[in-house]
Amino acid sequence: MNAPTGSAVDADFLRRWLGTATESIEREADHLTELDSPIGDADHGGNMRRGFRAARTAVEQEPPDTPGAVLVAVGRQLISTVGGASGPLYGTLLRRAGKSLGDEPTVTAAQLRDALRAGVDGVAQLGGAVPEDKTMLDALLPAIDALSGALDAGGSLAEVLAAAAQAAEDGAKATIPLRARKGRASYLGDRSIGHQDPGATSSALLIAALAQTAQEAA
């Protein structure tokens, strides 16, 4: 069943999001690693590719039947297969979001927004980061704010997720002039300035995949 145009998200929608997100990570893996090379371990792209491949396989083999269950399954796979800090952070993001959705067979854009906020709160708690620390939060928090604003303006699912995707992309780019204050990049001090954060970039890719999925369903 496709998500009803402009309103609800079901398990099939998020399974298709996973496929789109995996393809995006595959396509951008080398770029993510290039971003990670000067300020991290030069493994972000490879780690994310491995994690999303594993998640897609697991969901294809045993398709979850609710939106929340899809996100929980993906989060579980990322925790178990993605190395470094990214596995726990992305796993927490998606598992918290999925648990927030409960067992509902379909959820609204507002419920998805609230679930993402719960996931982002979990990421902030786990990593101890705040805005402008040059982390994935610098893409995710603007995305949620933009999604909320578009919802308040009466936007459709495709419209609100497009707004979120644009804000996430802008947020990722805005990490370039920031000095890293968390994670491995923080060890570099001022040398972290001038580099786009790879976690913010991969976060923006996942939000963009949501927007693409909604556009294709509209």
Decide if 204 contacts 174 (C-beta within 8 A).
no
| Chain CA centroid to CA 68, Å | 15
> What is the pLDDT, as a whole number, of residue 148?
97
Average pLDDT score over residue span 190-195: 89
Average pLDDT score over residue span 4-17: 81
d(CA 60, CA 56): 6
Provide the whole-model pTM.
Answer: 0.94
Mind listing the pLDDT tens digit for each residue in 125-155? Answer: 999 999 999 999 999 999 999 999 999 999 9
SS3 state of residue 78: helix
| Chain CA centroid to CA 84, Å | 17
- Domains annotated on the chain, with CATH: 8-217 (1.25.40.340)
